Amino acid sequence: MESSRLDTLALDQQHLVRKVTANLRDQFAGTFGPETIERFVVDSLELLLPTAKVTTFLPVLAESFTKDRLQALGKTDGSLPSTIPGVLFLCVHNAGRSQMAAGWLRHLTSGRVTVYSGGSEPASEINAAAIAAMAEVGIDITAEFPKPWTDEIVRAADVVITMGCGDACPLYPGKRYEDWELDDPAGQDVAAVRPIRDEIRARVETLISSLAIEPL
């Protein structure tokens, strides 16, 4: 079944899937078999393709996305147990607010929180003004990319922070949900994004305190 799904992809995409699967095989050896890894790679690729502006980076993006999804699946099914809290930031395009929040949380906790982000309608690229505003405070988010939320990542998150995605945001029982009302940086210049960035930092610091994790 999965082989036929792979066969429906273009030849260059089939090569991409096989390459990414091989890269992840050793990392998840003993936890997930090659068939499962390949299935997630194919699915991740198909989720990213509709908004891929430059396909040159698709192998890196597909590998990163698949890795996050498999680690999330392992946490929820018990094959990769983790005591590190997981936080998922969700907005519409996963291009501005949620990316800045994820950048702050990674920066302020340095690996002591598993950070996810996603969008209900992912954009093709991260907001340039958001990238510039975060760079001003020494946080590089250029390696991040807009992506949709997925079932296993929502299930792996202990806290889900929503930012304007409304009814499109997933609701799962047993999760702690917060809705952050923030101005949308879309279409704004860096000067307008700075106060949004700073408000997000303050909210992230409060979030960290509630998780009993000390800022660096």
Residues catalogued as catalytic: 91, 165, 169
**148 DSSP 8-state letter:** B
Is the C-alpha dihedral spanning 107, 108, 109, 115 positive or negative? Answer: negative
Nearest to 57 by CA among 66, 48, 67: 48
Q: Distance between CA 110 and CA 105 in Å, rounded? A: 8
Q: Which long-range contacts (CB under 8 A, 24 or more apart) does 198-207 make?
A: 200/97, 200/100, 200/101, 200/104, 201/104, 201/137, 203/101, 204/101, 204/104, 204/105, 204/108, 205/108, 207/87, 207/105, 207/159, 207/161, 207/178
